[in-house]
A and B are shown apart, each in its own frame.
Chain A
């Protein structure tokens, strides 16, 4: 139905389908956000840091592999003791990949949340948001296009780091499974889910740092609730007995099922990096949170007066 709707442009009389128009608008908003990140040095700083890491990985780490086994390793030209043990090179590659993914999952996601937390407030500033809303673009498209732009900015960095590291390790060792690349996608997903909370907060408060903090709290909250859900014996230790334990348990379970499954997603990323089988349920269970946040953000944005 929507594909058949057309709109006329000004006096010109050019007709364009609604779907095509929305597609062009989203492309424009994503491009504008990426350009803004380049201008603000956010993306450039990110890419320079990753480039520095990749150069370090490719030059500072030297692995001598003899018949599939690590014979010796040198870091910055210094021999590393392996203790006379034969270490399969596959294990070494896995260590590197797990290290990179774990770092990216923690520091990378937090940095990304803070570096992109100002995108929505910057769009919502007076004298700019009213001009954007006065264009033939729905407010939901405007907000989702902007949020997608932020995800695109982070995707560029994550892709560069993960694909770059994978390429360096592949060249140096001849090993490297596709799971590592999948782990990169999982990390991007974690960022996107937490960022949806940032978007919701940003459109209400128009405050970048506060929005970034909320995204971070959601990410942490997912980790904090995990043990209360999995290790039921913790409840007996952490909560007082009686109705208060029942209430606290219900609250903890409610929060666990509401918040993104940060810990489950971390486990998927790490398992993927090691080419181990993973369950995608944490991904499925995290999607409703992002959908709810974005829905509320669009609802608020649509109802608000500017």
Chain B
């Protein structure tokens, strides 16, 4: 049985402007993140991503609804003891050295001195800052501060790690370092909650995503499911290329030839259902056409993201079904309840 480490129900946040005009940042968000998942939170600027993270961390008080973190109400010190947070804006005091900075956070977590020293040394070495331990943070580059922030977030060996734009502003090599550290954390059973604009980073690290738009979850689910195009498959054959469209005539809805490697030919097939796909394969085999591969056609996360945003251009547009199997809401791990 899976356990939710992050759970929100009808979460709302209304900010009041200086003149008292209400601004709805969250408009009833329901999400559920299971233990050990790598969860990506996506959305355009102003979608409410940062507000959602801040509510979960206790930085912002919700106007309505409920948010729970590791079984406790989000925002309580007890819940925060078991989490790590890497903020987007890292305004570390310039006068602190890297090790003293981590020491402060270790003390706030109540880690005993000897263990603190050991964790700080190991944490800085993990993010390639070992030789910079006694250098002041004020002399660090943006990428170094980023890695220091990651070391700080991992200092207490958290059960849930919140990452706000973890790859922003660092070079490709630095991103690989960060990604490897995150993968090691996942291997240890840490749950990742990543808020990022860099869709490729989310695609490489996360297995579940939710897309937030105008303060509502407009799309969510397992990444592989979201990116697979409904009933579209790529067929690659190694013989009798010219006969394929005729053989499949009447079985498939659409056929579109696409580029393939030398000696092969490929088509994107749209079929009515799984039975039609199997009938198509049977026909090809009966005609002795050598099938090289048949695989689902996938969209990029960017395409999924843009489609979700286009479908919900207005804040009042009702949310469409996030999954093809929308009749099975209990299997949805991250989404808005209907």
Contact = CB atoms under 8 A, between A and B. Distances in A.
B108 A27 contact: no
B89 A25 contact: no
Interface stretch (A129-137, A153-161, A241-249, A250-258): A129-137
Interface stretch (B53-61, B195-203, B246-254): B53-61
Given A9-B111, A130-B87, A138-B77, A305 B61 contact: yes
Contacts of A126: 89, 91
Interface string A11-44: 1101010001100110110011001100110000
Contact of B108 (A14, A28, A40, A306): A28
Interface of B: 15, 54, 57-61, 77-78, 80-85, 87, 89-93, 95-96, 100, 104-105, 107-112, 115, 152, 156-159, 162, 188-190
Contacts of B104: 28, 32
| Contact residues of A: prevailing secondary structure | mixed
Contacts of A134: 57-59, 80, 83, 85, 87, 162
Given A9-B111, A133-B58, A134-B87, 9 more contacts: A7-B77, A9-B82, A10-B156, A27-B107, A122-B93, A131-B152, A133-B59, A136-B81, A305-B59
A128 interface: yes
A128 B93 contact: yes
Contacts of A136: 77-78, 80-81, 108-110
Contact of A306 (B54, B100, B157): B54
Chain B contact surface mostly: loop
Contacts of B90: 127, 131
A125 interface: yes
Interface of A: 7-12, 14, 16, 20-21, 24-25, 27-28, 31-32, 35-36, 39-40, 122, 125-128, 130-138, 303, 305-306
B313 to A, nearest CB: 28
Given A11-B188, A27-B107, A35-B100, A130 B54 contact: yes
B158 to A, nearest CB: 5
Given A10-B158, A305-B60, A128 B92 contact: yes
A131 B85 contact: yes
Contacts of B58: 133-134
A8 B81 contact: yes
Contacts of A40: 95
B110 A127 contact: no
Most chain A beta-carbon contacts within 10 A, residue among B15, B60, B81: B81
B87 A25 contact: no
Contacts of A16: 110
19 contacts: A7-B77, A7-B78, A7-B81, A7-B110, A10-B82, A11-B188, A24-B108, A24-B110, A28-B104, A28-B107, A32-B96, A125-B91, A126-B91, A127-B91, A133-B59, A134-B85, A136-B81, A305-B15, A306-B60
A19 to B, nearest CB: 11
A12 B115 CA distance: 11
